[in-house]
Structure formats: C-alpha cells, structure tokens
Amino acid sequence: MLTIDLSGKRALVAGVADDGGFGFAIAKSLAEAGASVCVGTWPPALGIFQTLLRRGKLDASLVLADGRKMEFERIVPLDAEYDILEDAPAEVRENKRYKDLGDFSIQGCADRLRTDFGEPCVDVVVHSLANGPEVTKDLLATSRRGYLGASSVSAYSMVSLVQRFGPMMRPGGAFLSLSYLAGERVIPGYGGGMSSAKAALESDTRVLAWEAGRKWGHRVNCVSAGPFASRAASAIGSGKTEGEAEGGAKRVPFIEQMIEYTRVNSPLAEAVTASEVAAAAAFLCSPLATGITGCVVHVDKGYHAMGKAVS
C-alpha cells in the first residue's frame, strides 16, 4: 500500500494563526504523515494564537486521525512583509505586538530554526501567506501602494522564503504555495491587486522550480484551491444584496457567493474542504511526488475546467 510518509521530516508552514484556514489544515496533514511541524505566525495574531493553544481552545482541532494531538515543534513570529529586520520601520519594531519578539522577519524565521536545529534542518516549506490592504477595492480603484503591498506579502514573500530556506533544506526539499483561480481568470470582487499577486505567484512557481531545482535539487509547486470560508477570506469583496422572503435585503459575503457559485458550476457539485487541499499539499511535499515540480495543481472540484456556467 502506498502511504504518504514524512517520518523524520521537518516542515515549516508560514501563515498559521488559527485553526480555520488552509495553513492549519496543511500543518495537520503533514503531522499526520509523520512530520514535525513548525509554524510562522503574524506577530499581531501571535499572542491570541498562543493563548488559544495554551487554554486548550483548539484541542479538538489538534486531534489527528490516529487520536494523537498535534503539537507544534516551534511557533515563530513571522511578518512576511520584511525580508530582514532592518526593513521594518521603527514604528513597527517598537509596536507593542512586535518589540519583544526579536527578529520577526523572514530571515529571522530562518535564523531561529537554524539556531535551534542546525543546518540543514528543514525538508518542507509551505507558503500560506496572503494580504491585500485594499482587497475590497476594484483594481481601477487600487492605489500603487495597495497593489504593491498585495504583491509583496502574497507573492514576493515566496521568493524570499526560497532564497533563505533553500540553502538550509535537506536534499530533496519541497516548497509549496497556495493560489486561487483569480490568478488565471477574472473573479469580480477579488480586488486590490490580489489577482495580480496570485498570477505572479504562479509564474514564480515555474521560475523558482527551475532555479531551486538546478541550484539545490528542491521542488517548487503550488496548489490553486477552490474558495473556502477561512477567517482571512471574509475580508475579500463587499458582498451583494439579495432580497429576502420578508422583503428587505441582506448582505451576502463575497466568499459565500463564490463557494456557492463554484459548487453549483463544478463537475463535482460540492464545496472543497480544507482537508482535501491539505491532503493534496501533503502529497506534493512527500516522496511520492518527487517527479512533480513547477506545477500549479487545482484542488477545486474541477471548477477551473469549466468554460460555461450551468446555473
């Protein structure tokens, strides 16, 4: 029987701050396959995340398929907007949520793991990072600063992760990022330059696969996931107004619109789950996928293949 076996491997999942998104689900799938898992968490969310863990509020979500409880090997502060600590402005470094955390940059994250575990010490790096400061705006209304901010955190940070973790990965390392169909097709409402950032992320996947493959022998892939109601996704779009039976109107969140539209129009008429995306991610990061690199793999119930709506 073929099994995904990551025993003895160490993974870093960058972008985990709660139990409701793809990052947490991927961390869990990697742990179920036997990997030890470290996570990088955005500093403003770090204290709350650690408190929830400490108080047992996430215990039910941490239970693995075999009954074990997932325990993070390290929880590292990570703000992917900054490659090195010196890039962060003084007002950020002195902010109460940052100032006692040490080096929260991407380089700082790499240095912490190198200090704790030596070198080489990592086998898998997962980029589950995205932020668009103007994501609720149409592209025509997006400022240069908002556009570049979306690309910086959502796309360039993957380049920075590969730059810094590539040299400290064991042979046959695997990088993985998360994208969305808006990088290929027009998704009205997915604004603020985020569609451009996802397109860049997918293009960079191919280039990084070539460069990291030839330089270190590592693989680089991307999962384009179907819409999913994570906490972060709730910030996307402004939603539309729909009539209610009683008269009046209600606001339907953008992410709920996309989930329902995708479900109705997909070959498999159901919404994608976090565990399905996580299972695909675990496979792509495992020895079973050593022949796969430079790929964008759609995990969206086949919606990406459709050229006409059926509803």
d(C-alpha 303, C-alpha 109), whole Å? 36
User: Which tokens belong to 73?
Assistant: 């090997």
Question: DSSP of 263-278, one letter per residue?
Answer: HHHSSS-S---HHHHH
For residue 167, say if its preceding peptide bond is cis, omega within 30 degrees of 0.
no
d(CA 307, CA 291): 30
Does the active-site annotation cover 180? yes
Say which residues have a Cβ less than 8 Å from residue 141's Cβ, sequence separation at least 6: 134, 191
- Residue 82 catalytic? no
Please give the sequence-ordered ranges of beta strands (E in DSSP) within 195-267, or none if there are none.
219-225, 240-244, 247-252
CA 213, 215, 218, 219 torsion-angle sign: negative
Which of 147, 190, 261, 303 is labelled catalytic? 190
Distance CA 255, CA 234 (A): 6
The catalytic residues are: 180, 190
